[in-house]
A and B are shown apart, each in its own frame.
Chain A
């Protein structure tokens, strides 16, 4: 609540992107998604698992993922999420935007580092 709207948007957007990226490998349920993000980032991105579900809900609402109930790897029932065509397209847009931003920030920071030296 305390964060400004803009900041929140940026973070939300990032989480959305991470989720979509995780699902490129195939359908997964919420628990798996959380673990995959944490593990692949070497536990740097320790997402608050609670915020995962509202994000998934939002993505589904926008038609970027679809969901279904199925058996999980240890034979429990779980809700699986799958990337839709619109989601794939969205991921491409997001990835592009992200790399553009990283590059831009990198350039700024690069200048900063040179100045320090």
Chain B
């Protein structure tokens, strides 16, 4: 059967008609010749041939693509039906669009965080190397000698091994003030191994990046080239400086490639060894066996499995241990997929973002479920109204499967419209989410733009929603006894629908309760964490970051700079105290932790030595943050590298490692600095530095004067009045000393707490959950009200009869209410169970208890009250049914 035939089938049919007429004429001629009367001749001819219309129909069918044709007819019919009831269509489409829109927005976020492409060649072939020691957790960083050993040893499994390390540097153009950029120091083969091609100029060559200072080249990111070089096409060849070291721009990266860090967008790429002159790294540190800053990646050779790569890495790890027993005795190596580090520093810890994503997709799914149930309800009511239409069609010969397909076509058409509108809504929502103010000047990658994943997801959920909402009325129709409908004179088979409707209401109440409880838990978590005692006083503190390294200072000069700066700041009127620290609470930069060897403490058998978070601070720190000193002393100016190395521990750390003992005077050693044993000189109260939920973690502090290799510090200034007002004066003081020093992340400590690591997460999460909870509640209330109203209207006659037989109005109220109560009650119980389950999954995100009774009781009571109110209106209406009127309606 050809398409041409299909398209010309009308013409074809006319020809068949003429042909059949010709046949009849011949037969009639023959019959007359045999001596029949013309009438008889004609009758016999027809009898012999059969029904010409049927024959034509058979041929017509042979000429048509049956499926396409029926689908086309169904679609046209469905469109006409929807067009005829625009109110119903609009409500159904809008409801589905809301549900699909919420899902789209959430999915686009999850997609952006977890699944979006990094725009490199054969992404799944690229693996990341993880290293662990002492059986601890795998970390993504290697040292230069380790990287070099691997690069030569894994040649059988990786076609290329490449690496990079990140930096924050000051980029300046001819005498201008430097601009702080997020830099990536890459091995020469980095771009080739990734399969990324330059937009302009060239990338690095395989032999570049080996010798410190030998390749003063820089590649700009697309975004940075656009924003800071106005997209100048002649940018290649220009001289700029990084931390005062002159480099030449050799190329621009393509727009799609934004680096392998999923948190920050790289702004400039440099050959690996350029980090030595630019960041003033002593060559001994750069080549130190235990100085692990390099992220190493390998591209699998074709046909090599991850297991084979892991085996090769394990061998390399054992070789390292043999060659360098001092630094590598317990080293183990393993590969990880490239996405493993997304949003978690560690490789093998369960990914909290995956968990959050699952929760949000779950919540969004509940909203969609509610939307679908509402639309299914509408369709169910409509199906009852249209029962007569269906009966007539079936009486005219339509098969039942045809009718069911017709109903499904209608619901899928609705869902398709809903899907289109929902995608639009989702785009809006996703734009809102992307525009969340992250309160930072760092180039954070927060891109939730749509890719094909999102559209496929939308198409799938729209189709699923369409099938779901359509299947209920369709199945009901399939079960309905059509003869009964005709006999009942259009009163329908309402009785049969009760079970379906009750189930739908139960689902609605349950889903809405789950949404509201989860939203409630998150909201209470936000409120509680905003008023939480963090162990320090965040009000009246101004913070800002700076790195004298960005204007070419070496670590010693930076130390002197800060030493001069602090007294000047403390002298500014309105300043109570001032200090510097490597990291600020809930901050995103330099949240260090170190593996410790503690004298007199052996970790329990089978456990790795403790890893404890720490901070490097200057004098005046505990006054500025108002962290009480419990025991011993604070750091003083004499705690410098000429005097014994010291440390201050938090109370939690003291209790954990020196229980029932006096920790002052005890000693421990950091793995990053094994040559110095630190003596504890004081104990301070606990403070929360990261993560608002869960138990407070152990923490310790070391003085800047003894650990000044890193000059990127946060200044923290306690002020008498509003700290924001003091910012210009403080910056003026700094620039009075070093006019060119870039200052960034200027904010109050209170604002700084709203970082993606701190309260911002709770704010976003609570906001999102709140929006979904409200949506869910509105949908549920509308649903419950709608169903009960409909049921009452169906039972008007029955109620009339009951009243005519002497039932009291209160009896009627009871009947209607009892039905509502049961359904709502079961829904609430189911909802509570679901909430407990979901809260358990989300526990790491919830500051209050996951079974917080306040939330559960109040939200359940609220929803119950609202649901009962939704029952009341139809019940009330039923109570005042006029018996005579109701009976006359029959």
Contacts and interface: CB of A to CB of B under 8 A. Distances in A.
Interface string B2-23: 0001000000000110111011
Given A30-B19, A48-B50, A61-B1, A53 B59 contact: yes
Interface in B35-94: 48-52, 54-55, 58-59, 62
A29 interface: yes
Contacts of A57: 16, 59, 62
B27 A31 contact: yes
Given A48-B50, A58-B62, A61-B1, A53 B19 contact: yes
Interface string A77-108: 11100000000000000000000000000000
A49 B47 CA distance: 10
Nearest to A46: B48
A29 B22 contact: yes
A53 B25 CA distance: 15
A78 B19 CA distance: 6
A57 B26 CA distance: 20
Contact of B54 (A29, A31, A50, A78): A50
Contact of B23 (A49, A51, A58, A74): A49
Contacts of B62: 54, 57-58, 61
Contacts of B16: 53, 57
A49 B19 contact: no
B731 interface: no
B59 A50 contact: no
B170 to A, nearest CB: 79
Interface in A32-61: 48-51, 53-54, 57-58, 61
Given A48-B50, A53-B16, A54-B62, A74 B1 contact: no
A76 B26 contact: yes
B50 A31 contact: no
Contact of B22 (A48, A54, A61, A79): A79
A14 interface: no
Contacts of B27: 31, 49
B55 A31 contact: no
Contacts of A77: 18, 22
A72 interface: yes
Contacts of B631: none
A74 B52 CA distance: 22
Interface string B317-337: 000000000000000000000
Given A30-B23, A31-B27, A54 B49 contact: no
A50 B26 contact: no
A53 B26 contact: no
Nearest to B1: A61
Contacts of B18: 77, 79
A50 B49 CA distance: 5
Contacts of A72: 22, 26
B29 interface: yes
Nearest to A29: B22
Nearest to B49: A49
Contacts of B23: 29-31, 49, 53, 78
B29 to A, nearest CB: 6
A50 B55 contact: yes
A47 to B, nearest CB: 10
B55 A78 contact: no
Nearest to A32: B26
A54 B57 CA distance: 10
Main secondary structure of the interface of B (DSSP, over half): helix
Interface residues of B, number: 23
A58 B58 CA distance: 11
Given A54-B55, A61-B1, A78 B22 contact: yes
Nearest to B52: A50
Contacts, number: 59
A13 B25 CA distance: 28
Given A30-B19, A49-B48, A49-B50, A54 B26 contact: no
Contacts of A50: 49-52, 54-55
Nearest to A57: B59
Interface centre among A48, A50, A72, A78 (most CB of B within 10 A): A50
A31 B28 CA distance: 11
A29 B55 CA distance: 17
A95 to B, nearest CB: 25
B341 to A, nearest CB: 60
Contacts of A51: 50, 55
Contact of A74 (B5, B20, B29, B55): B29
Interface in B775-809: none
A53 B22 contact: no
A8 to B, nearest CB: 13
B639 to A, nearest CB: 95
B26 A31 contact: yes
Contacts of B54: 50
A74 B5 CA distance: 31
Contacts of B5: 61
Nearest to A33: B23
Most buried by B among A48, A49, A58, A61: A49
A31 B22 contact: yes
B20 to A, nearest CB: 7
Nearest to B5: A61
Contacts of B19: 30, 53, 78-79
A75 B20 CA distance: 16
Contacts of B59: 53-54, 57
A78 B27 CA distance: 12
A54 B63 CA distance: 11
Contacts of B50: 48-51
A53 B55 contact: yes
Contacts of A78: 19, 22-23, 26
A28 to B, nearest CB: 11
A54 B58 CA distance: 7
A79 B17 CA distance: 11
Contacts of B25: 76
Contacts of B22: 29-31, 72, 76-79
A76 B49 CA distance: 18
A89 B878 CA distance: 80
A64 B887 CA distance: 71
Nearest to B61: A54
A51 B19 CA distance: 14
B399 to A, nearest CB: 13
A49 B23 CA distance: 10
Contacts of A29: 22-23, 26
A77 B25 CA distance: 10
A51 B54 CA distance: 10
Interface string B173-198: 00000000000000000000000000
A64 to B, nearest CB: 15
A27 B36 CA distance: 29
Contacts of B15: 79
A79 B5 CA distance: 18
A21 to B, nearest CB: 20
Nearest to B57: A54
Nearest to B56: A53
A2 B743 CA distance: 88
A68 B672 CA distance: 96
27 contacts: A29-B22, A29-B23, A29-B26, A30-B22, A31-B22, A31-B23, A31-B26, A49-B27, A49-B50, A50-B49, A50-B54, A50-B55, A51-B55, A53-B16, A53-B20, A53-B23, A53-B55, A57-B16, A76-B22, A76-B26, A77-B18, A78-B19, A78-B22, A78-B23, A78-B26, A79-B15, A79-B18
Given A76-B22, A79-B18, 15 more contacts: A29-B22, A31-B26, A48-B50, A49-B48, A50-B50, A51-B50, A53-B16, A53-B19, A53-B20, A57-B16, A76-B26, A77-B18, A78-B22, A79-B19, A79-B22
Closest 9 pairs between A and B when the two form their complex, measured CB to CB: A50-B50, A31-B26, A79-B19, A49-B49, A78-B22, A54-B58, A31-B23, A57-B59, A50-B55
Interface of B: 1, 5, 15-16, 18-20, 22-23, 25-27, 29, 48-52, 54-55, 58-59, 62
